[in-house]
Amino acid sequence: MEPFRGRIGIIGSGALGCFYGARLSRAGFDVHFLMRRDFDAVRENGLKVFSFEGDFVIRPPVFASALSLGLCDLVIVGFKTTDNHVLPDLLGPSCNLHTVVLTLQNGLGNEEAVALALAAKSDARPPSETAKQVMGGTAFLCSTRTEPGVVCHTDHGFIRLAEFSGGPRERTRAIAEMFRCAGIDCAVRESVAAIRWEKLVWNIPFNGLGVAAGRADTAAILSDPDLRGTVEELMLEVIAGARADGAEIDPGLAADLMKKTETMGAYRSSMQIDYECGRPVEVEAILGEPLRRARCAGVATPRLQMLYGIVRRLDYLNRLDKE
Amino acid sequence: MEPFRGRIGIIGSGALGCFYGARLSRAGFDVHFLMRRDFDAVRENGLKVFSFEGDFVIRPPVFASALSLGLCDLVIVGFKTTDNHVLPDLLGPSCNLHTVVLTLQNGLGNEEAVALALAAKSDARPPSETAKQVMGGTAFLCSTRTEPGVVCHTDHGFIRLAEFSGGPRERTRAIAEMFRCAGIDCAVRESVAAIRWEKLVWNIPFNGLGVAAGRADTAAILSDPDLRGTVEELMLEVIAGARADGAEIDPGLAADLMKKTETMGAYRSSMQIDYECGRPVEVEAILGEPLRRARCAGVATPRLQMLYGIVRRLDYLNRLDKE
């Protein structure tokens, strides 16, 4: 299988977008970055990656607006889901009928948001059509943007990919091969729902309680018997919701994830970090949308409902405090 | 029925102890106050009650130590359950074999704590014996200690009383009559477990979420559909736990309480106020002990478990922040 070749646009150049974009760029792919906060730093000093797999610097083409980024064959969306309202503005100038858009964001509802954003363009095809341009991926990556133009990559990096509409096709495998050529482990899966829900089995309890239980990293949560018990039960709720929503997930995943989390030390989830930094948290993508889908599928998820209610309010107060 | 007559000691002279003690004192009962923070103010200016039922001042005998308070016929315990570790020291000098101790504290486990404290005295009877000296009561009272020696009483005040060991007897009715002589509505009940659990049906959701969901008064909780749904389900969990623990509570109580809470406006629970003032919250009496009893009785209370885990950790962090 030949890797995907074409003009690649990275929109949302935080730690995730910068890391994958830089690895692809270093491997010779034609990567262009749309940047806001990091624009000046990267144009002046390049994009620096400090990684346990080897440090490097690249000097990629970087753009300050979607208009100047221009048309791409593949757009990779890496920003926080709390910014999804800007998708129409960013995808408008960079996409045509043939552009593939891959969202590597967290949670549920992002493929839908991309398809709707593409449908909002002037050529006005319905979302059922634009959905065919959309792919979803889950990224298992420990990376942090430490300062403008600098990313620190401390662990993992593998990606799972799936088409939003229908099963894998040639382009799916070509894009997976592209990531592999950049040294990134990448697997193609049948169902985007399955990979999204699979990641949520961990993300819902540890992101949610990381905020609700106050400065609670994984070690703090696991060391409290009632929080730990709540995590285990939340995982089973999420798996039940996933299965009812059509995502086949092995119930044994919960026990596996508990074991893996034991070895992670005191890990702070992205939602906890966002919350503590006073930033909006991804409450809808990670908690709200899964709750709504489980509910639609007729599955009771009492702990998820409570967690969503608490975190949504804490997020609201957090924003209020910043004003 | 003649009202109880005898030497009364009020220990724990916060808003609750001061209010009931002052009303009893004004009605001619022989009330003595053990005070710490308010000692100087009350000795100098008396104890002032501003009440929707009429303001008044009394100049009662006030003591700074349990030793100087001396032996009482009835001791009323009104302090926060987070101070229950001082019960042996305070009850030691004020109680003999005949003293009745009435705890008006919140939550579960207080009658047990009093019986154990009495059993720790030098005459060393077993708790099964000292339990017969103990009565429990639930107070429905809106009062605040606004400054040393000043209590503001804004609503309600009625008390439900029960013996800890066995059903009501003559002294139970005499003590109820004493409160009534002081203008306080007071009912005698068969079971202390029933009155305790009954109050918890409201206290668990609104106190717990008042802390967990951040600055959440009753209006904030009721206006969020997922927090409101969680309250309703928590109430049913508590009622199921209560019934399994032997307390007969009508499941219709949940709907009644929801309706009543609607009319309360933006009411802040005592736990929320304590938390926001940086004080320890009554997490064990209000959340932990009910959870343990429901669990022992074989009833699953998933939301209560989660709430307990979250609030216990928030309380811990709150104390840490104060250090």
**pLDDT tens column, A166-193:** 999 999 999 999 999 999 999 999 999 9
What are the structure tokens assigned to A232, written together?
């285990």
Contact A229 B309 (CB under 8 A): yes
Contact B220 A313 (CB under 8 A): yes
User: Which residue on chain A is closest to B306 by alpha carbon?
Assistant: A230
Beta-carbon contacts below 8 Å between A and B:
79
Among candidate residues B119, B109, B120, the one with its CA nearest the CA of residue B84: B109
Question: Helix/strand/coil (H, E, C) string of chain A?
Answer: CCCCCCEEEEECCCHHHHHHHHHHHHCCCEEEEECCCCHHHHHHHCEEEEECCCCEEECCCEECCHHHHCCCCEEEECCCHHHHHHHHHHHHHHCCCCCEEEECCCCCCHHHHHHHHHHCCCCCCCHHHHHHHEEEEEEEEEEEEEECCEEEEEEEEEEEEEECCCCCCHHHHHHHHHHHHCCCCEEECCCHHHHHHHHHHHHHHHHHHHHHCCCCCHHHHHCCHHHHHHHHHHHHHHHHHHHHCCCCCCCCHHHHHHHHHHCCCCCCCHHHHHHHCCCCCCHHHHHHHHHHHHHHCCCCCHHHHHHHHHHHHHHHHHHHHHC
Q: Distance between CA atoms of A34 and B43, rounded to whole angstroms? A: 73
Counting residues of chain A whose pLDDT is more than 70, the rounded percentage is: 99
Q: Distance between CA atoms of A302 and A310, rounded to whole angstroms? A: 12
Contact B214 A313 (CB under 8 A): yes
**Residue of B211, B223, B295, B306 to mutate, interface with A, max A Cβ within 10 Å:** B306
Write the DSSP string, B259-314: HHHHTT-SPPPHHHHHHHTT----HIIIIIHHHHHHHHTT---HHHHHHHHHHHHH
Contact B313 A233 (CB under 8 A): no
Radius of gyration of chain B (CA): 19
Q: Who's near B61: CB < 8 A, 6+ residues apart?
A: B31, B32, B33
Contact A159, A196 (CB under 8 A): no
What are the structure tokens assigned to A307, written together?
């967690």
Backbone dihedral angles phi then psi of residue A231, each to the nearest 5 degrees: -60, -50
**pLDDT tens column, A261-287:** 998 889 999 999 999 999 999 999 999
**pLDDT tens column, A24-57:** 999 999 999 999 999 999 999 999 999 999 999 9
Residue B215: predicted pLDDT: 84
Contact A272, A216 (CB under 8 A): yes
What are the structure tokens assigned to B21, written together?
């003690």
Residue B122: predicted pLDDT: 63
Backbone dihedral angles phi then psi of residue A58, each to the nearest 5 degrees: -125, 160
Residues 31-50 of A with CB under 8 A from B: none
**pLDDT tens column, A77-101:** 999 999 999 999 999 999 999 999 9
Contact B199, B269 (CB under 8 A): no
Q: Is B180 helix (H, G, I), strand (E, B) or coil?
A: helix
Residues 227-286 of A with CB under 8 A from B: 227, 229-230, 233
Q: Who's near A120: CB < 8 A, 6+ residues apart?
A: A88, A92
Residues of A designated catalytic: 199
CB count in 10 Å sphere of residue A225: 10
Number of H helices and E strands in chain B, helices first, is 15, 10
| Low-confidence residues of chain B: pLDDT under 70 | 122-123
Contacts of A233 in chain B (CB under 8 A): 302
Contacts of B238 in chain A (CB under 8 A): none
Determine the distance from the C-alpha atom of residue B41 to the mean position of all C-alpha atoms in its chain, rounded to a whole number: 24
Contact A312 B230 (CB under 8 A): no
Residue A215: predicted pLDDT: 84
Pairing, β A30-34 against β A47-51: unpaired
User: Per the residue annotation, which of B199, B259, B260, B322 is the catalytic one?
Assistant: B199
Contact A30, A181 (CB under 8 A): no
Contact B226 A312 (CB under 8 A): yes
Q: Taking 70 as the threshold, does the pLDDT of residue A122 lie above it?
A: no
Contact B283, B312 (CB under 8 A): yes
User: Which residue on chain A is closest to B208 by alpha carbon?
Assistant: A310
Residues 67-96 of B with CB under 8 A from A: none
Contact B306 A306 (CB under 8 A): yes
Whether B306 has its CB under 8 Å from any CB of chain A: the answer is: yes
Contact A303 B302 (CB under 8 A): yes
Distance from CA of A313 to the nearest CA of B (A): 6
**pLDDT tens column, B137-180:** 999 998 888 999 999 998 889 999 999 999 999 999 999 999 99
Contact A227 B309 (CB under 8 A): yes
Q: Is B23 helix (H, G, I), strand (E, B) or coil?
A: helix
Q: What is the pTM of this model?
A: 0.91
What band does A19 get if pLDDT is binned at 50, 70 and 90? very high
Whether B222 has its CB under 8 Å from any CB of chain A: the answer is: no
Contact B71, B93 (CB under 8 A): yes
Among candidate residues A184, A177, A130, A137, the one with its CA nearest the CA of residue A157: A184
Of A212, A225, A317, Cβ closest to residue B215? A317
Residues A228-244: what's their mean pLDDT? Answer: 97
Of B214, B224, B313, Cβ closest to residue A216? B313
Contact B46, B149 (CB under 8 A): yes
Contacts of B236 in chain A (CB under 8 A): none
Contact B216 A313 (CB under 8 A): yes
How far is residue A175 from each of residues A2, A6, A189, B19, measured CA to CA in Å? 9, 10, 13, 73
Q: Who's near A215: CB < 8 A, 6+ residues apart?
A: A272, A276, B317
Q: Who's near A37: CB < 8 A, 6+ residues apart?
A: A148
Residue B38: predicted pLDDT: 94
What are the structure tokens assigned to B170, written together?
């003559």
ipTM comes to 0.86
Pairing, β A134-147 against β A150-163: antiparallel
Contact B186, B159 (CB under 8 A): yes
Of A216, A302, A309, Cβ closest to residue B227? A309
User: Which residue on chain B is closest to A291 by alpha carbon?
Assistant: B226
Distance from CA of A229 to the nearest CA of B (A): 8
Contact B92, B116 (CB under 8 A): no
Contact A310 B215 (CB under 8 A): no
- Tell me the CB-side half-sphere exposure of residue A104, using CA atoms within 13 A: 28
Contacts of B317 in chain A (CB under 8 A): 214-215
Distance from CA of A231 to the nearest CA of B (A): 9
Whether A212 has its CB under 8 Å from any CB of chain B: the answer is: yes
